[in-house]
Structure 1
Amino acid sequence: MTLTVTDNDGATDSDQATVTVNAVGGGGGSFTTLFDDFESGWGNWNDGGSDCARYSGSRSYGGSYSIRIRDNSGTASSMTTDAFDASGVSSIDVEFFFYSYSMENGEDFWLQYSSNGGSTWTTVASWARGTHFNNNTFYTATVSINTGNSSNAKVRFRCDASANADHIYIDDVTIRASAGARLAGNSLVELGSIPGSDALAGIDEIAVPQNVTLGQNYPNPFNPRTSIPYEISTDTHVTLNIYDLSGRLVRSLVDEYLAPGKYSVNWNGVDNKGQSVESGVYIYHLTTNEHSITRTMTLLK
């Protein structure tokens, strides 16, 4: 067996790591293991849209950050990997940690696999509130997936709830080749609630921001995508909209009830009609029940 480890940021606590392992998975080929803890960004994963966001707070299992998915808006309620090569192995294991907040009884989320780069998806596992998990509790799960020896594979988590207040937080995701001597099968293990919290609130006071803030987008100027960071200090309804200099609404990025925490949302220079906008200066405006903050950013094409 040949083992090659690459730490993408040169540190031991990297949020993204790749490991190439030869002669595993029963196929005699190789597979690059993917690991992401989201501490420094999205890593190997992609933001599905308005119902997916990178979150910082006590609902993250490891470190500060995780990915929050909500509601049931299809791709917008999903987090999806980049395409990866699984042609050298017959099966992979997906291991991850998750936390549920305010999911109603029977609401669920799915793990899906695509062997054709995301053109079609197959649900390989699903977990429902009240049957498989309860709110305000951490779990770890492992799912084995038959790859079909695809060279253009993708994996995604998709929420299938009913409202913006129904949240699943995904963290510390590892995708690896299944060991050749075993077929892992699926597992789900309860890990307990947030230490020192009650079963309903679950808020780590150290992690809760003290103020509502709207950060400068990065990069700025940008093309074609930028990230907008913001922090919420109390449970509140939040909107984050983009306007042109005439005050016309260009894009609604956030419109939901949020728990305290640090968030970021991406904008790809597309308006609410799915059309690319022109180069120029744009206004982005955050509102909560008690605050209103405005900044500007520049799109250069």
Structure 2
Amino acid sequence: DPGNSQISFELGKANVIFSETWEDGTDKWEINGPWVLQEELSVNGQAITDSWGGRGHYAQNCDVWIATKEAILIPNTGNPLLHFDSHVYTEWDYDPVTVEASLDGNTWQEIWTKSGRLDWWQKEYAYLYDYAGQNIYLRFRLRDNSIADELTDPGWTIDNIYVVSGSSAAHKDVLVPGLENTLLFQNYPNPAKQNTHIPYSLTSSTEPKIDIYNIRGQHVRSYRPGTKAEGSYTWFFDGKDDDGRNLPSGIYFYRMKAGKYSKTRRLVLVK
């Protein structure tokens, strides 16, 4: 449980489909940019970073990435999941780090993204059930949109990449065992054209409530799944309001309340 990680997985309860801890080098990966293995900033052993030691600065207007050389077969069962340790330090909103998936190694779909000064290790995850039964490539990417060198930052360091399966599911809610905190996570993809996933976790049996508001603060959608057991779930949000009408493009805010916990995050619809 490195640093302020949000999630810890008990891998013994899941089937490991793919793993990368960087202790055997980078032979599994195609590398674009100055990515190197180092031990100065890692969860344990070595980790890969786009800037030496995770303390250098990425280049202005860079687009650097690492991608799996071989496709990974995602199983049809068990709610496949990607999780990894991430240390991010970029400019908020402008210099995103993303994880992307591809069926052919050429056309990529974003499945996770983040930006900002998160100068500690976090456990991140993305569900892969949209790719069940298919072979996919994974790409970890950092893009800079700065107008000046002084606006660049230390960048992205990645450790302990796993694709696992073996959790249980009910309808459109996905349950993953082994979570320790009640948390509302960032939706993905974000921005979204229509549908997006809103993950959340619960530490005990409770009744979570999620509400979505537009930029003017008007309530547009409610999510009331009833009482949920301890675990992690995902609400598949279809981009519609409570009356079933498609929401227009724009910035929205979603808030979850569960017991004493309350958290608000931002999502963007682009249609």
Decide: shared fold, TM above 0.5.
no
Q: Bigger radius of gyration, 1 or 2?
A: 1
Question: Which structure ranks higher in relative contact order (CA pairs < 8 Å, sequence separation ≥ 6)?
Answer: 2
